[in-house]
Structure 1
């Protein structure tokens, strides 16, 4: 009989569903020597968390996260909550000796991130920050191509993360639009993913210059007692101030001499979840678009003259990381599969007592870049990291 690791999850909305699916699917598609068990789900609303647990197969529920993290039958705490709630839960979980699978961005401040990392290391628990895009086969293959010298010395990084879900001024003042719960807007939420990919594929960032913009300064306050999706009927007449950025643009230099740019916005009409990056080097180039997440575009300067041009690499063959565990070549996978890959790697790290990337030290570096961007936007000066 395989060894088991019992998982307790805090949070049952969007990320709770994505994480639950990953815990369930991982042992079905990957040969895992240790089986994750969906032991308990936690949320403040007992009726809602019970419905969630019954639907996804969690054995038990809790309505108090403090009880969950101290349960002796829990090995792993999965934090699937907004970033303002990560700090306290992560500290308590680490002190209780639980391994931590945490949603991004890591924390509200670098001071919090430093303490979270310190406590995890002191208690010798495995800590993972779920920047899941690293684990799409195409991005993982891009990393290998770079390490193999396929594009040579990197000169340029260009990245954009674009969404459009708050273009309508009638969209309500949700937690993502308030500094006390989100810290910042797309600079925090979206650029955290973008900066992680830049660190992963290019290297550490040295300097940051940034500007931010706020297009809609007030929004209707939602009825917190309304159930279901936010709609016009759940909005009151009272307006509240938007206290985070609506868009952020960063220019950076990397420690290896490359230069880069980041655009993060929720006002790109027609863009639902478009994360693109372009990497240009001395021997070639690689580009990626999350909305076509099984593909890479690759250009090689070493192709014969007259035959050069960008070509598509479909990252669904066994040669691409993780792809061999899914479907025959050409049968594409989706957004949720990167979460599965993260669970597989995380459980392996816990079992072997090794680290997994990105971890809380990576999360700290990301927060430091994001904070530098906000300081630059405020002072209108370049910030050295």
Structure 2
């Protein structure tokens, strides 16, 4: 039964997964109502496989209780939202079960490990939406205020005709070839490496910022370290360390995407550059409160990128936070994400990014991988139309 059938009750929330993403999402659930007007909810239960560790995490992160059986939690009448923070290989099973049980679902990106799983999730989400049950995929960088503002400027025509976009997401946590084996380095659990983990964010931004969709892909994947130390000796790495893609898009836009987890010295740099006929924008996640804008309609002698500190109350999301100039951080993107999800549920509206949008990104990831394997260009990437800034 959907929460919408009994709107007087607070939303009961269950989060599944308590590691990196579970901690980030829990922080958002704990803080969102302190800053934003959202419908009443309760942090009911945190779910994980290790009873002792999940109980400790639940107490630390503000959950009323902990559990180890996600199926039993989903079946509970006091649970209305399921927030899935598990590795990708578990997304489809949990999300489909939750949607069929009438629970609103938020799932971390990428939507799934395979197109087949993503399609099954999207079908379940569409059926559930007809019953008033909402779903969303967690591309949290859409909620960076500077990037939200960049999208507004592009939609307003401040850049004129957008011609090309560059996006590079670079990290170095695997630069050391002695770094240990993890689930993120096994195809059966992670689906892909840097491609799905961080290039998915870059691809979503390329489409979301421009309002256009990818139709053509040329991809390259590289695994630089073939084995990593495991608990019982060396283990084969079965995913990519780095990925490159050249993308053709609707709107006659060309884009390039680069992602690496072996870029020595780069900690968490998502750099995005958008070039248009009347101006340009640049952004770097490591300076997430700043947007650089060049207005090419001014005289050439006056042109140059100017730094906009995106901290004014007029900027997206920021009227809820601190006085201007008091910067916010990476964790705030998850708070904004939870805020938007709760508001959509309360309004009975479909939130964005939808599972359909997550599936679109999944198809692009698969096309990059197929192109890399075949050393070819794919020109029939199935796509959907992206909403304008005003519709999102």
Please tell me the TM-score bracket, short chain as reference: over 0.9
SS, match of residue 123 in structure 1: helix
Q: How many residues align?
A: 370
Q: Deviations over 1:200-239 (max 9, x none)?
A: 01210010001111111111113xxxxxxxxxxxxx4x11
- What corresponds to 1:315 in structure 2? 310
The reply on whether 1:370 has 2:365 as its aligned counterpart is yes
2:34 paired residue among 28, 32, 38: 28
2:180 corresponds in structure 1 to 172
Within 5 Å, which residues of 2 pair with 1:105-144? 105-124=110-129, 125-144=133-152
1:248 maps to what in 2?
243
| Aligned residue in 2 for 1:359 | 354
Q: CA deviation at 1:3?
A: 5.1
**Aligned residue for 2:103?**
98
Q: Mind listing any 5+ residue stretches in structure 2 that lack a counterpart?
A: 1-6, 382-392
Alpha-carbon distance between aligned partners in 1 of 2:9 and 2:272, rounded to the nearest angstrom: 40
User: 1:153 and 1:189 mapped to 2: Cα distance?
Assistant: 30
Q: Find the partner of 1:259 among 240, 245, 254.
A: 254
Any conservation in 2 of the 1:2–1:35 contact (CA below 8 Å)? Answer: no
Whether 1:205 aligns to 2:211 is no
TM-score normalized by structure 2? 0.93
Residue 324 of structure 1: aligned partner: 319
Alpha-carbon deviation of 1:36?
2.2
Q: Does 1:85 align with 2:80?
A: no
Name the CA distance, whole Å, in 1 between partners of 2:125 and 2:192. 25
Q: Which residue of structure 2 aligns with residue 11 of structure 1?
A: 17
Deviation at 1:271, TM superposition (A): 0.4
Q: 2 CA distance for matches of 1:53 and 1:338?
A: 21
Deviations along 1:66-100, one digit per CA (max 9) or x if unpaired, are 00111110000000111111010001000100000
* Separation (CA, whole Å) in 2 of partners of 1:11 and 1:373: 29
Contact 1:11 1:79 in 2 (8 A): yes
Provide Cα deviations, 1:105-148, integer angstroms capped at 9, x if missing partner.
Answer: 11011111111011122122211111000001100000100011
2:376 corresponding residue in structure 1 = 381
Q: Which residue, 309, 315, 340 being the options, matches 2:335? A: 340
Indicate conservation of the 8 Å contact 2:128/2:134, yes or no. Answer: no
**Would the aligned equivalents of 1:23 and 1:36 in 2 still touch at CA under 8 Å?**
no
Provide the residue aligned with 2:389 in structure 1.
Answer: none
Aligned-pair Cα RMSD in Å:
1.1
Tell me, yes or no, if the aligned pair for 2:218 and 2:378 is still in contact at 8 Å. yes
Rounded to whole Å, the distance in 1 between the matches of 2:91 and 2:63 is 21
Give the whole-Å Cα distance in 2 for the aligned partners of 1:59 and 1:367. Answer: 35
Whether the 8 Å CA contact 1:132–1:342 is kept in 2: the answer is yes
For normalisation by structure 1, the TM-score amounts to 0.94
